[in-house]
Chain A
Amino acid sequence: MLFLQFTVDSTRYVLATRAIIEVVPLAPLQKQPNAPAHIAGLMNYRGRSLPVIDISQLFAGYDSALRLSSRIVVVKLALPDGAQRTIGLLLEKATEILKLDESQFTEPGFENPHTPYLDKVTMDGQGMLQRVSPENILSAMDAERLFPATGEH
């Protein structure tokens, strides 16, 4: 399986490419007043409005750096009720694709109810990689209120 590697605060994470529709460069984002800090804004994606979540804010509470290596990853999520949503994830250092085997991942042995999106871990020569399950990102942030079910996204 292929995974996209990114970092938050120099910790490495991977995202399964199966969920990814497209990796796009940074584009202007429409800021949303009074929104939580991890809502980076809305992006014009192919003529539709795409909410973008800043993963650095969500994970570590700082804004993603505005560098060429920071990219918006458009992912398709299957919600528990069967509906599908498309959202953008703003990731830092999203420049590398890794080939990892499902069997390489092991249970982290630690569970935090506040970070349900953090999944199994795997080790390589440079340290540890933790898998992020994008489905649980939404549930972690009150999907009902922030992302109404209306609209065919």
Chain B
Amino acid sequence: MKQGDEKARDCWNRVGVWAHAVTRCERLQEVVHCRNCEIFVAAGKQIFERALPPDYRQENLVSLASTGTISPQDSVSIIVFRLGDEHFCLPANVFETVKESRPVHRLPHVKNPFVKGVVNIAGKVCLCHSLRTVLAVNSRDHDPAGKSRHSYKRLIVVNLDAGRYVFPVDEVKGMARYRPEQLKSPPATIGDEVRRLIQGTFQHQGERVAVLNVARLHHLLHAGNL
């Protein structure tokens, strides 16, 4: 690696996409952009090979010693998403991927109110369910059509008990953690059917996040025919 590095050093500036040279690197034919090239990636990783900055270890002591943050040992990792004004979450390990929003093809004569249609996920046709209907979310997103530049609409692809489901959501907020003892029971105002799907709620960044019960959600969606 050492010798190759010397030769290749800075090649993205000399013959790569940031070069003004007429003769371009032939690897570009294949990788299109330098950022896809392993030479560029390897060079970027060299940043980790630097010596420790002064006080680096001491600074880490402060963050690692603190017990205030939830330690990964006794907590559950989840991904929070938003539907209208309401926040929900599913365990991070059920997530397969999060995709950009895309058109959902409606299926004619589908009686199941939860089925929105089919959608193309990495070349596979997947059934797309509406969590909004399942969870009886009434509040609309501020931008229902997703036309705005600031639209964060996504499709989440999850594996619930080995069943693959695709749900459109208004925004994926990111990952978080909660301790099981943090959970409070869901508000009494929600209907019994939705209540059964919610394991509990917890406060996260000023929002009440409802933790969905994976097994019951799967059962509900699995049982429903088209």
Do A and B pair up? The answer is yes
Q: Give the residues in chain B near A27, CB-CB below 8 Å.
A: 57, 60-61, 64-65
Name the residue of chain B whose CB is nearest to the CB of A68: B48
Q: How does the 8 Å CB contact mask read for B64-75 relative to A, with 1 for contact and 0 for none?
A: 111100011100
Q: Say whether, besides A67-B49, A68-B52, A44 and B60 are in contact (CB < 8 Å).
A: no
Q: How does the 8 Å CB contact mask read for A62-91 relative to B, with 1 for contact and 0 for none?
A: 000011110000001000000000100000
Please tell me if the beta carbons of B57 and A69 are within 8 angstroms of each other in the complex: no
- Asked if B149 is at the interface of the complex by the 8 Å CB criterion, the answer is no
- Asked if B45 is at the interface of the complex by the 8 Å CB criterion, the answer is yes
Please tell me if the beta carbons of A26 and B65 are within 8 angstroms of each other in the complex: no
Please tell me if the beta carbons of B65 and A67 are within 8 angstroms of each other in the complex: no
For the complex, give the distance between the alpha carbons of A21 and B71 in Å.
Answer: 9
Q: Say whether, besides A46-B65, A47-B67, A86-B73, A26 and B52 are in contact (CB < 8 Å).
A: yes
- Asked if B51 is at the interface of the complex by the 8 Å CB criterion, the answer is yes
Q: How does the 8 Å CB contact mask read for A30-54 relative to B, with 1 for contact and 0 for none?
A: 0000000000000111110000000
- Asked if A22 is at the interface of the complex by the 8 Å CB criterion, the answer is yes
Please tell me if the beta carbons of B52 and A66 are within 8 angstroms of each other in the complex: yes
Please tell me if the beta carbons of A43 and B48 are within 8 angstroms of each other in the complex: no
**Selected contact of A21 from candidates B49, B66, B72, CB within 8 Å:** B72
For the complex, give the distance between the alpha carbons of A112 and B40 in Å.
Answer: 39
Q: How does the 8 Å CB contact mask read for B51-85 relative to A, with 1 for contact and 0 for none?
A: 11000111011001111000111000000000000
Instruction: Report the minimal beta-carbon distance from B146 to chain A, rounded to whole angstroms.
Output: 32
Q: Give the residues in chain A near B49, CB-CB below 8 Å.
A: 67-69, 93
Q: Taking chain B's interface residues, is the majority helix, strand, or loop, or is none over half, making it mixed?
A: helix
Number of A residues near B (Cβ < 8 Å) is 21
Please tell me if the beta carbons of A46 and B64 are within 8 angstroms of each other in the complex: yes
Name the residue of chain A whose CB is nearest to the CB of B67: A47
Name the residue of chain A whose CB is nearest to the CB of B64: A27
Instruction: Report the minimal beta-carbon distance from B26 to chain A, rounded to whole angstroms.
Output: 20
- Asked if B47 is at the interface of the complex by the 8 Å CB criterion, the answer is yes
Name the residue of chain B whose CB is nearest to the CB of A47: B67
Please tell me if the beta carbons of B51 and A26 are within 8 angstroms of each other in the complex: no
Q: Give the residues in chain A near B71, CB-CB below 8 Å.
A: 46
Please tell me if the beta carbons of B48 and A67 are within 8 angstroms of each other in the complex: yes
For the complex, give the distance between the alpha carbons of A95 and B52 in Å.
Answer: 15
Q: Say whether, besides A69-B48, A69-B49, A95-B48, A22 and B72 are in contact (CB < 8 Å).
A: yes
Within 8 A of B (CB), among A84-134: 86, 93, 95-96
Most chain A CB neighbours (cut-off 10 Å) among B51, B58, B61, B73: B73
Please tell me if the beta carbons of A68 and B47 are within 8 angstroms of each other in the complex: yes
- Asked if A24 is at the interface of the complex by the 8 Å CB criterion, the answer is yes
- Asked if A28 is at the interface of the complex by the 8 Å CB criterion, the answer is yes
Q: Give the residues in chain A near B45, CB-CB below 8 Å.
A: 95-96
Q: How does the 8 Å CB contact mask read for B8-40 relative to A, with 1 for contact and 0 for none?
A: 000000000000000000000000000000000
Name the residue of chain B whose CB is nearest to the CB of A96: B45
For the complex, give the distance between the alpha carbons of A93 and B65 in Å.
Answer: 23
Q: Give the residues in chain A near B60, CB-CB below 8 Å.
A: 24-27
Q: Can you spell out 5 A-B residue pairs with CB atoms less than 8 angstroms apart? A: A21-B72, A24-B64, A27-B65, A46-B65, A46-B73
Known: A46-B71, A67-B51, A68-B56. 12 other contacts (CB 8 A): A21-B73, A24-B64, A27-B61, A27-B64, A27-B65, A28-B58, A44-B65, A45-B64, A46-B67, A67-B48, A68-B48, A69-B48
